[in-house]
Structure 1
Amino acid sequence: MPIQRSTLTRPLVAVAMVVATSLLAVAQQPPTPTRVRGKIEKVEGDVLSVKSRSGGDVKLHMTADARVVGIIKISLADIKLGSFIGTTTVPGPDGRQNAVEVHVFPEDMRGTGEGSRPYDLRPNSTMTNATVAETVAGNDGQNLLIKYRDGEKKVVVGPDTPVVTYVAADRSDLKPGAKIIAFVKQIADGSFETSRISVGRDGLTPPM
């Protein structure tokens, strides 16, 4: 007796529907954050309770070797030829890359994360860590040519763009009210573990 094609097709269709439904469910899940930005509300031993910038409550478990660095404000004039910087940029209507923030690395951090990649600070933003190869004053700020191993980028730093740098800090700087950005990974109970925290000094919100 010939096998009816519909008999074979129905199970295949059912499997395809299950797979498609599973893929859709995965696609709809929010991405697991790799950074938490917010204000410390409570410190309990190695655990920080943080109110994130989006309004959520986050528990951060610091690893035993967690590194803490401070962030302080500096001026646009502190961006020198040869400085190794990081900058978050977004494309302007004219196609130029406008700096949302610039952080100048101290010499012992030169080369950190060199390159350019998508970033999560703003929609369509990019983080580029590179060396300042050229700096020219313009009508709307400072025009920088920055170069990294695989390329270069022209960046416009406006007069109101936050410019910061890193300074030494330790766990004593992690106190209620301090503003932080922490690099995290999610652990089994749904909270987050961090091994690197940047904390703003004197009430500063890390702009990156």
Structure 2
Amino acid sequence: MPLRSTLRPLIALAMVAASSIAALAQQTSPSRVRGTIESVDGQTLMVKSRSGEEVKLTMAGDIRVVGIVKIALADIKVGSFIGTTTVPGPDGGNNAVEVHVFPEDMRGTGEGSRPYDLRPNSSMTNATVAESVVGNDGHTLLIKYKDGEKKVVVGPDTPVVTYVPAGKPDLKPGAKVIAFMKKLPDGSFETNRISVGRDGLTPPM
């Protein structure tokens, strides 16, 4: 049998396997929904996303809930471990859309820089503040992570927040949340981690 005829079914089989793996990864990979809790019924949350879609979420048994509260720009110190969403500025720099300061017990969470889905062309960088320079238009931070560093401009109106303890009682109608979710084989969605704004705050990340 010609080699080409022998390889053709193997290539077809490989393509089917690859597409099946991709479909499975898409089905089980976690994603985020940002929105407002509309109702709570036992372990089920109904969340209206910022784009207007209604998403039904089942809370996992090991769900982790953290609160988000506003802090001052001056609370970002050299040595702070932060996360920041940035977009390219007109001068080619990195302008912060938001900054969240991690408490010490969350230091090292997601360290590095990667594309992010908050805005077009945005990225998320979790890193340690190495330098902080105060200017007329806010702070310029030099942040360093294990694979590199980045200069970030934080304006005076940029939301700055931190994490505080929270629990399921904070998940009530009207609360603004970011829920990390995954699609289960039956098509439903499950969440095991939710960030909830305290005192009406909308988590900015």
Task: Report how far residue 81 of structure 1 moved.
Answer: 0.5
Alignment of 1:21-170 (within 5 A): 34-170=31-167
Aligned to 2:199: 202
Show structure 1 runs of 4+ deviating over 4 A: 30-33
Task: Report how far residue 184 of structure 1 moved.
Answer: 1.0
Task: Report how far residue 188 of structure 1 moved.
Answer: 2.8
Supply the AA of the counterpart residue of 2:176: K
Unaligned runs of 5+ in 2: 1-7
Supply the AA of the counterpart residue of 1:88: T
Asked whether 1:178 is paired with 2:186, we answer no
Residues of 2 paired with 1:168 and 1:105: CA distance? 12
Q: TM-score normalised to the size of structure 1?
A: 0.85
- Does the aligned pair in 2 maintain the 1:85–1:129 contact within 8 Å? yes
Task: Report how far residue 140 of structure 1 moved.
Answer: 1.7
- Does the aligned pair in 2 maintain the 1:58–1:191 contact within 8 Å? no
Residues of 2 paired with 1:189 and 1:52: CA distance? 22
Q: Cα 1:194–1:171, aligned 2, differ >3 Å: closer, same or farther?
A: same
Supply the AA of the counterpart residue of 1:57: E
Aligned to 1:8: none
Residues of 2 paired with 1:166 and 1:184: CA distance? 19
Aligned to 2:4: none
Residues of 2 paired with 1:189 and 1:55: CA distance? 23
Task: Report how far residue 33 of structure 1 moved.
Answer: 6.8
In the comparison of the two structures, how many residue pairs are matched?
Answer: 189
Q: Which has the larger radius of gyration?
A: 1
Q: TM-score normalised to the size of structure 2?
A: 0.86
Aligned to 1:7: none
Residues of 2 paired with 1:204 and 1:131: CA distance? 25
Residues of 1 paired with 2:33 and 2:98: CA distance? 17
Unaligned runs of 5+ in 1: 1-11
Residues of 1 paired with 2:175 and 2:186: CA distance? 25
Q: How high is the sequence identity, in percent, across the aligned residues?
A: 78
Residues of 1 paired with 2:160 and 2:75: CA distance? 8
